[in-house]
Amino acid sequence: MRTQVEKVIREVGKAVAGKREVIGKIVTAMLAEGHILLDDAPGVGKTTLATALSRAVGLTFRRIQFTPDVLPSDITGFSMIDRAGGDFVYRPGMLHQANLVLGDEINRAASKTQSALLEAMEERQMTVDGRTYPLERPFTVIATQNSVGTAGTQVLPYAQMDRFLVRLSIGYPDYEAQMTMLRDRQGADPMESVACVLDREELTAMQEEVRAVEMKEEILDYITRLTMASRAEEELAIGISPRGALFISRTAKARAYAEGRDYVTGADVQAVFGDVCTHRVLLKEGAGERTAEQVLDGLLKKTETPDHRSRFPGIMKK
């Protein structure tokens, strides 16, 4: 594991106990310049995690609590008449100069607000009244979605879920973790102890390095075969799109980088495949008992690994 990544994970881990793996995945997604969708029950520490992350990396953190009343202009900003000058003045919105944005309960926002955010995520810029404002770099959105209590909500359409690089869930802590958490919270706020171990420029530089990670033909072939297999899969109505394949390769690169390598292996692809793809596939109605995760896992088992495929000619297969 690369030391900088390791440090960040350790610092965030101070505030969120026992969630090393998820933290690692989120950092990986950030390295891949992607956005994260957290699908979880309330109160498992999504906000805490995001805050701790922004502290550890030294990012400007903004939080939007979405309700049906939040308007697109709250996010992008708007122009208003300046009385004194008699001119329109731009009033920046939430995304202005933000590096890490936590969009809480995005499914409760009105669809126009959702699309304003998603557009900003995709383009990494905002356009208000014909003027374009580029967003800060790095720019990462962590959006959360409540899987319970969907009454009065605007569920993210399938096409918009596609914009998020990964969908993760934090999940409840186990016994040990919860005990630690309870113990820590008795005294001072553990958030105070989270130190800044990485600055913004360093993160940007790391993102650049991620782009330079080596990816051999074998891995590209593996990704292609996996996505093709998903499209041919019986139980899936919609398989993984070409954009999905692109995202797999990006995330795999970031993971390889986080692991301290400058080349991608089959293990990287396998590790990120589920997170990147579960929200990109659509199960057929009444197709079977399996969830999307299980179907994708089955695909990984079925598809020949690049290790096997690269077998030296002359060595017999069994």
Partner 1 sequence: MRKHWIGYAVWLILAGCLYFFENNTGTRVILLCSLLVPLFPSLRSACFGREAQGNGIMPPRTAGTFIRGEAFGNGTALPRTTRTIIQGKEDGTGDIRPYRPGDPVRRIHWKLSAKKGELLIRETQAAEETAQEEYRETRIAEEAAAEELRETQTAEKTAEGKRVRFRRILIRGLIIVILLCSALLLLVPEARKGCMALGNRLFTASETVNAYAYDRFPVPEGQGEVFAVTLLTIAAIAVAALAVTLRSRALILGLITLLTLGQIYFGLCLPAWILIPGYTLAGVLLMRHPTAGSLKRLAVLVLGVTVCCAILFPGVDAATESASETVRDRLSQMAQQLIGIPAETPEGETETRHTHTQTLFTGAREVSAGREYRLVTVGEEQISRPKWIDYVRIILLLLLAVGVVTLPFVPFLLLNARKKKAAEVRKAFLSADVSMAVRAIFQQVIAWLEATGSGGGNRLYREWTGELPEGLPEGYAERFSACAADFEEALYSSHELPEEKREQALDLLRETEKALWEKAGRKLRFRLKYRMCLCE
Using CB under 8 A, list all residues that contact partner 1: 214, 216, 218-219, 261-267, 270, 301-308, 310-318
| Shortest Å, Cβ 310 to partner 1 | 6
| Shortest Å, Cβ 307 to partner 1 | 5
The tokens for 213 are 């990670």
Pick between residue 158 and residue 263 the one whose CB is nearest to partner 1.
263
Pick between residue 26 and residue 271 the one whose CB is nearest to partner 1.
271
| Shortest Å, Cβ 78 to partner 1 | 49
| Shortest Å, Cβ 272 to partner 1 | 14
Pick between residue 14 and residue 261 the one whose CB is nearest to partner 1.
261
Beta bridge partners, 78, equal: 91
Pick between residue 70 and residue 299 the one whose CB is nearest to partner 1.
299
| Shortest Å, Cβ 27 to partner 1 | 22
Pick between residue 188 and residue 315 the one whose CB is nearest to partner 1.
315
| Shortest Å, Cβ 227 to partner 1 | 18
Half-sphere exposure of 10 (CA within 13 A, CB side): 11
Pick between residue 118 and residue 272 the one whose CB is nearest to partner 1.
272
Q: 95 burial class (0-12, 13-18, 19+ CB within 10 angstroms)?
A: buried
Pick between residue 185 and residue 308 the one whose CB is nearest to partner 1.
308
